[in-house]
Amino acid sequence: MDSLLLSKNDLPKFMTELIKKNKVFAPVESNGTIIYEQITKPSEMNLDFCKSEYPPKALILNQTETLFKFTPGTKAKIESVDIDEKKIIFGIRPCDAKSIAILEHAFKGDYKDPYFLKKRENTVLVGLSCTKPEINCFCTSFDDTPASSKYLDILLTDIGDNYYVEVTNDKGKLLTKSMSQLFKPAKDSDIKKKKEVEKKAVDIISRHQKTNGIADKLDKIFEHPFWKDIAFKCVGCGTCTYLCPTCHCFDIQDESTLTKGARVRVWDTCMNPEYTLHASGYNPRPARTNRVRNRIYHKYNYYPKNFDVIACVGCGRCIDLCPVNIDIIDVVTRAGEVKP
Ligand code: SF4
Ligand code: SF4
């Protein structure tokens, strides 16, 4: 790993160079909230935020994505779409970068999803350490920190007049080498400053989730009345899943007129009763209790069993934005405590 230093005064130059040669998506303020949008100049960015409400996973697993176009009829024709576009996501938080690594497990298993994988391969993640975690952030419960470079190609950490820059792999090296005049090697004192910034951010995090042994515990309480109690408040809006950076369920629909059409992939949610509705009319998850339970099991039981990782990064979005205050930290903590 290379440790470099970028003067804050040089950030606009760095961004201008990136924008000249690449499609760059960065945090931008829109209607009082932060979203990741393509920028045309550095001044469009807003780096004073904790996390975007809408997760940057949407730049790789698009909310709506055309898989191919077709002309219906007896002389039907299929037209493929370009999935080769290269992009940089600048300012992504370490937790959101981890979520993309978590998503990869689902898309590179027995069936390899070319759309997701090509976009992932063509995307460079230039992260920005989080220095102001919010009340519902709990990334440290998963042995991560707000300044972890583990899932990023490059990580910038604000250490005062400079950014401490960690270049973790060849993708990151390619970017920094092309602008080497802007970087200088970091000194031990800069590494120390980064560690101090990281510790300060870790110390701000006040909420923690106990996850030890949770997958095994969930095996024992599948039928427990506790789930009915948790689901009682839920209104089934799906906000928790749509805004979760690790949720990845989708539906595929053909949309067409008499002369043209497209096969489209759209985000779906397991909180929707139709999600598991069979064509026969049978629904294996007919009640909200089944659906609320599924969300927790998918993250804390099925994913660890299949991929050895919990499918939650502790971003807190589902807690911040649930209209009835269902809190995944409390749910999992209580699940760990109920008697089987
Ligand atoms: S389950 Fe909630 S806290 Fe965990 S990654 Fe998803 S939105 Fe974030
Ligand atoms: S956001 Fe809250 S109310 Fe909406 S589906 Fe999720 S848990 Fe239920």
For the stretch 304-325, pLDDT in tens is: 999 999 999 999 999 999 999 9
Q: Compute the radius of gyration of the chain from its Cα atoms.
A: 22
The pTM assigned to this predicted structure is 0.96
In this prediction, residues 237-247 reach a mean pLDDT of: 98
Distance of alpha carbon 252 from alpha carbon 33, whole angstroms: 30
Place of tokens 């059409």: 261
Q: What spacing in Å lies between the alpha carbon of 267 and ligand 2's midpoint?
A: 16
Same-domain pairing of 137 and 200: yes
Q: Are residues 151 and 271 in the same domain?
A: no
Number of domains observed in the structure of the chain: 2
Q: Tell me which residue range forms the domain holding 274.
A: 214-250+267-337
Spell out which residues line ligand 2, taking CB within 6 angstroms.
Answer: 234-240, 271, 322-324, 326
Give whole-number Cα distances, 143 to 89, 138, 310, 325, in Å: 24, 10, 11, 25
Terminal alpha carbon distance of the chain: 46
Backbone angles phi, psi at 106, to 5 degrees: -75, -25
Among all bound ligands, the one having the nearest atom to the CA of 236 is 2
As given in the structure block, the two tokens for residue 57 are 């996973």
For the stretch 68-86, pLDDT in tens is: 999 988 888 999 998 888 9
Domain assignment present for residue 67? The answer is no
296 lines ligand 1 (CB under 6 A): no
The verdict on 200 and 218 lying in the same domain is no
* Most ligand 2 atoms within 8 A of CB, residue of 324, 329, 332 to mutate: 324
Q: Atom 4, ligand 2: which residue's CA is nearest? A: 237
